[in-house]
A and B are shown apart, each in its own frame.
Chain A
């Protein structure tokens, strides 16, 4: 085995062990933070699938996240007998459908026009969530009673315990991120990168640009919807904050800070952003200011995001090469 394979495998095992022992060793507040990092990591990965790999910059990605969150939230409250996993699956599917529909309208536009059209769609869904009070309770939000989770061997797991929430989030996020990773390794994933690299050439090779773009938005929507569902499950509360402009902006910051060129860049970005925010907001009310300064710094002086700092010469340690930077 050469170094190129040993390092990622060893690193992967270490990270897995670390993630598994978090709930046993860390204080409760940090378990909270870790869970948040997990589902935001999935959201950021889904964003980067469109931005980094597809070359489209959506300003309204929170629409997909929010639709997932509201779908899960409403189902938890009105159809609790479905139990957790099917509900989260439906949340993911709702994201997929929303991604497909938004794509259908936005994808014919390119560059900034695409970005703004996606923002317009997000504002539309935001308005629905805000004004349709009989269903969504508007900006007051709605509380969620979490059904228990029944597993074959372990029996019923109460979802009130933060450890259990952490583990279910970990498993589903890992599944989602793996799905995305696998997607990029298939010919379809290659079609997406190929389209980003040179649209005209790709279409003269027989690639249907329109359909490819819609597909990538739908897949991304599925992952964002799942992340949103996990958000609803974990917070036990869904309000318009999960579908507002701020949410779209946060995920954009995470991805750019983390780095768009590598598959794990957004994961690093999400972790860094939330830890940094947690730490700063404990010290000052003006943490946004410092976050902004940091963002500007990254954009100006660390173009590939902080993931670039983890590269040591030719050996990239545990960071999997994405095929994005080819």
Chain B
């Protein structure tokens, strides 16, 4: 995790070096880019605050780990739990792989795992930013389609890969 956060800082430093080079080579282009950056930043701040608030609310009230315990429930309920936990799960996907591997060993199907991973792409706390750029109607349609797609993908994977195969 520390390594990853260092990489993020290296990334920022590289970008700043690019800007420094731009400042020296073409001041007008530098100014245009900086103005563009300030414009994005000003517009994005309210959405960013809302993202923080939602991150906090979800972390405080919901525990995704406790939801994953229901992955072995019967019929439609396990899909609903996979959808809920996928949507509220935070952090990069590779952090979840060991837990999912463990759940798979305990009998959770590959389809449910695929559904969980696909649903992770719908990030409730980040939705204000998606609404900011693309509007409420687009965000709702995309989220609903992705929820349906995550279940369909899970069902397909369950048909292709049987539990004992891997």
- A, B bound: no
Q: Which residues of B contact A (CB under 8 A)?
A: none
Q: Which residues of A contact B (CB under 8 A)?
A: none
